[in-house]
């Protein structure tokens, strides 16, 4: 890792802390400023980890760019903006899955992992589904399937020799998505962001770091 990576980590950490404070204070302006900068931090970290130097790193960087776009779109409350953010993150998860395949996966392990993860996925949908508006049920269900597949591929890639940051980042990303869903559909509140945002940004930084040692 070089100083640029740690600078990116620092940017994310500082602006995440500020973001949480502004969110607690109800400052929309503070949120609009701090969240995109916090997200730019994980792009800077990936650049510092030499994302351009491998096909894996390039795909991860593209996925992180989509996550940045999703973060910006979710700053607005409108349904169209939320749907745009959902699509951005969905495509980001797809690219992370592609990156894990590039890193190397065991297909049998991935299939077993996906089947095993369908259990918590089904539990999540049973909890979440009744709260989701009819026109959003399809997109949200597709999203849940995609993130489940992404985590299964991450687990398989890690078993095949990828760095631990791959599965750690993917699993934390999955958990952070649950807080977004809870905040949007079930029970809005600051507590969702208080632990959900730190988990999300840690996940992105771990995935950014993984480009240095994907396998």
Residue 42 lies in a domain: no
Residue 213 has pLDDT above 80, yes or no: no
pLDDT in tens, 73-108: 999 988 889 899 999 999 999 999 999 999 999 889
Domain count, the chain: 1
Residue 93 lies in a domain: yes
Residue 141 lies in a domain: yes
The domain containing residue 189 runs over which residues? 54-212
Closest C-alpha to 166, from 86, 112, 88, 97: 97
Residue 6 lies in a domain: no
pLDDT at 2: 87
pLDDT at 164: 93
Residue 46 lies in a domain: no
Residue with tokens 């089947």: 115
Q: Cα–Cα distances in Å, from 12 out to 42, 76, 104, 111? A: 7, 21, 29, 34
pLDDT in tens, 56-65: 999 999 999 9
pLDDT at 214: 54
Residue with tokens 């620092």: 10
Residue 210 has pLDDT above 80, yes or no: yes
Residue 7 lies in a domain: no
pLDDT at 132: 92
Q: DSSP class of residue 184?
A: I
pLDDT at 63: 98
Residue 22 lies in a domain: no
pLDDT in tens, 109-147: 999 999 999 999 999 999 999 999 998 899 999 999 999
Residue 122 lies in a domain: yes
Residue 215 has pLDDT above 80, yes or no: no
Residue 186 has pLDDT above 70, yes or no: yes
pLDDT at 163: 87
pLDDT in tens, 141-177: 999 999 999 999 999 999 988 889 999 999 999 999 9
Q: Cα–Cα distances in Å, from 50 out to 30, 62, 80? A: 31, 13, 35
pTM, full prediction = 0.95
CA 81 to centroid of chain Cα atoms: 17
């Amino acid at each position: 890792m070089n100083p640029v990576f740690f600078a990116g980590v620092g940017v994310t950490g500082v602006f995440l802390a500020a973001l949480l404070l502004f969110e607690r204070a109800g400052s929309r302006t503070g949120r609009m400023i701090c969240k995109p900068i916090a997200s730019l931090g994980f792009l800077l970290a990936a650049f510092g980890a030499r994302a351009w130097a491998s096909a894996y790193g390039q795909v991860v960087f593209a996925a992180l760019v989509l996550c940045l776009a999703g973060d910006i779109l979710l700053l607005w409350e409108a349904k169209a903006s939320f749907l745009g953010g959902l699509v951005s993150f969905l495509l980001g998860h797809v690219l992370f899955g592609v990156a894990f395949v590039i890193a190397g996966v065991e297909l049998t392990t991935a299939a077993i992992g996906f089947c095993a993860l369908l259990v918590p996925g089904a539990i999540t949908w049973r909890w979440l589904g009744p709260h989701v508006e009819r026109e959003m049920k399809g997109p949200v269900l597709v999203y849940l399937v995609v993130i489940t597949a992404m985590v299964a591929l991450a687990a398989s890639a890690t078993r095949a020799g990828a760095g631990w940051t791959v599965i750690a980042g993917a699993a934390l990303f999955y958990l952070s998505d649950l807080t977004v869903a809870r905040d949007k559909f079930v029970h809005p509140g600051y507590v969702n962001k208080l632990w959900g945002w730190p988990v999300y940004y840690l996940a992105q930084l771990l995935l950014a770091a993984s480009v240095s040692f994907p396998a």
